[in-house]
Amino acid sequence: MCPADSPIADHLAVRPTSGSTTDQLRRNNLSKILTLIHREGALSRADLTRLTSLNRSTVGAIAAELAALGFVDERPPLDFRAGRPSPVVHPNERTVAVAVNPEVDAVHVGIVALGGVVLARSSVGIGPEASASEVVRIAAAEAHALLAELPGHRVFGAGIAVPGQVRIGDGQVREASHMGWFEEPVAAMFEAATGFPTFAANAAILAMRAESVFGAGKGVDNFVYVIGGASGIGGGMVSGGKIVTGAAGYAGEIGHTFVRSSGASCFCGAHGCLEAEVTQARLLQLVNLPPSQIAELGPALAASTEPAVRAAVAEDVALVAIAIRNAVNLFNPSVVVLAGFLAALMEGSGDDASAILPAEAVLAARESVRVERARFGADQLLIGAAELVFAGVLGDPSGYASSRA
């Protein structure tokens, strides 16, 4: 695990080895090329030469070494014309991480390959009183069962996306109030149960990471991410291309934005928080859907003509708009990404989210912002959890390969 004082932004940053010796330069080039393959998908050697400014022979040698280490596969191009074909370098999907996302109603487990591809997934229902140790036991059993169906895959570690405040350095859950967890060493427990190096972090931040690497936030230096799930509403911000973490790594709690005077009590102890007023459970109940059919929530809300449903959707959109207005005023993002049931809420409203949500922000901040739905569905949390593992792999491919040989 990471040093106990390591904030999440530092952990997720891909940091090649420093120095100027021949070996260090080689390792830096391994990191540079593998990171491109992970984030962009299959690229030809010619593409890699152009994108890295390395010469052709260096790219060829690095690609060959990454293939020997088991991180990439080199294949001939599917179609090529006259001249010498440039081999295409693909991420090796046998390089995997275990990803876990506990929620108040279920434990979600996935096997995620390099390149952000979810190879296998499962979900197990749990009760609201499930302890951290019980959830870890279930998740470990599911992980082993999924891996048994994927023989020959190399596991480089595990990442856990927790709906609560997590100390990234040692994976200690400080507070996950919806789960009833306080000061639980979840990462250490999972590592003991599986033998995999394990990391844990806030679920919303990890979902945002998935969107910033592979989805709607890719290539965007300033954006706000807001996700709604069974455990409430979370979020995060990227400013100047860097995750905003705060002094201790707990920034981004947009679900605790104050949106209603004398509002409902929140798990945090306050009243009128966004996540206390706008909930997934209420919206599902309005259209008579069970939690297992959360993917149908947006279409069901959009199709409903019931006055009670239309009124509830309008009310919730207005409350979400207060939180978005505050975020736009504070951070001046170019993009706001909505995920989870909040994306479904906007689909159900039928409104133009870019026009409605930041409408009352100051003019200079709102005139250039757009609101987008997240590109991923439920997989975003699994992909984000896996990024906790892959950050280290990408930073030092040869070192990680040696450690898991």
pLDDT in tens, 331-350: 999 999 999 999 999 999 98
Mean pLDDT of the chain: 91
Distance between terminal CA atoms of the chain? 18
pLDDT in tens, 101-118: 999 999 999 999 999 999
252 by DSSP, 3-state: which? Answer: coil
CA–CA gap between residue 173 and residue 285 (Å, rounded): 30
DSSP symbol at 182: E
What is the structure's pLDDT at 64?
96
Average pLDDT, stretch 175-181?
A: 92
Q: Which residue has the higher pLDDT, 13 or 93?
A: 93
Residue 239 near residue 343 (C-beta atoms within 8 A): no
Question: DSSP per residue over 246-281, as a string?
Answer: -SSS----GGG-B--TT--B-TTS-BSBHHHHS-HH
Instruction: Return the residue matching tokens 């400014």.
Output: 53
Residue 217 near residue 208 (C-beta atoms within 8 A): yes
What is the structure's pLDDT at 368?
86
What is the structure's pLDDT at 251?
86
pLDDT at 79 exceeding the cut of 80: no
CA–CA gap between residue 130 and residue 109 (Å, rounded): 16
pLDDT at 55 exceeding the cut of 90: yes
Q: Which residues pair with 166 in a beta bridge?
A: 173
Q: Kind of pairing, strands 223-229 and 95-102?
A: unpaired
CA–CA gap between residue 49 and residue 146 (Å, rounded): 37
Residue 54 near residue 62 (C-beta atoms within 8 A): yes
Average pLDDT, stretch 182-210?
A: 96
Range in 107-121, 139-153, 361-375, 385-399 the model is least confident about: 361-375
Which residue type occupies 137? R
Structural domains of the chain, ranges and CATH numbers in brackets = 8-91 (1.10.10.10), 95-206+380-403 (3.30.420.40), 218-374 (3.30.420.40)
What is the structure's pLDDT at 235?
93
Reported confidence tier of residue 83, pLDDT bands at 50, 70, 90: low
- 57: tokens are 């022979």
Q: Which residues pair with 107 in a beta bridge?
A: 102, 124
Q: Which residues pair with 228 in a beta bridge?
A: 233, 340
What is the structure's pLDDT at 15?
62
pLDDT in tens, 248-284: 778 889 999 999 998 999 988 899 999 999 999 999 9
Say how many CA atoms lie within 13 Å of 352 toward its Cβ: 5
Largest CA distance in the chain: 73
Q: Is the dihedral of CA 145, 70, 159, 41 positive or negative?
A: negative
CA–CA gap between residue 219 and residue 240 (Å, rounded): 11
CA–CA gap between residue 371 and residue 343 (Å, rounded): 10
The radius of gyration of the chain from alpha carbons, rounded to an integer in Å, stands at: 22
Which residue type occupies 369? V
Residue 343 near residue 298 (C-beta atoms within 8 A): yes
pLDDT in tens, 2-22: 433 345 666 676 666 555 688
